[in-house]
Amino acid sequence: MTVNLQEHVLVPKHEIMSAQEKRDLLKRYNIAKEGLPRIKAEDVMVKKIDAKPGDILRIIRDSPTAGKAFYYRIVVE
């Protein structure tokens, strides 16, 4: 029996951002990619969505106050 992590209730949704979304994000927060929090390429969800080093992920978590909360991570080796 295997568990589909992408559908598990405790695992937030992970998405790879497009090039345009990356530019907009970095411009909105006035930061460089290196200023983002990191997530390792060996992370199970990173592997599951086939993200590569340099990709920026949008992680969407349920929030009791905001409804949805967005977190951003850059994939590193």
Which residues constitute the domain of residue 18? 5-76
Q: How far is CA 34 from the centre of its chain?
A: 15
Q: Does residue 3 have a pLDDT over 80?
A: no
Tell me the CA distances in angstroms from 25 to 37, 49, 51, one per residue in order. Answer: 13, 20, 18
Q: How many domains does the chain have?
A: 1
The pLDDT value given to residue 11? 74
**66 Cβ contact list (under 8 Å, min separation 6):** none
The pLDDT value given to residue 10? 67
* Per-residue model confidence as pLDDT tens digits over 12-54: 889 999 999 999 999 999 999 999 999 999 998 999 999 999 9
- Domain of 23, CATH number, reads 3.90.940.20
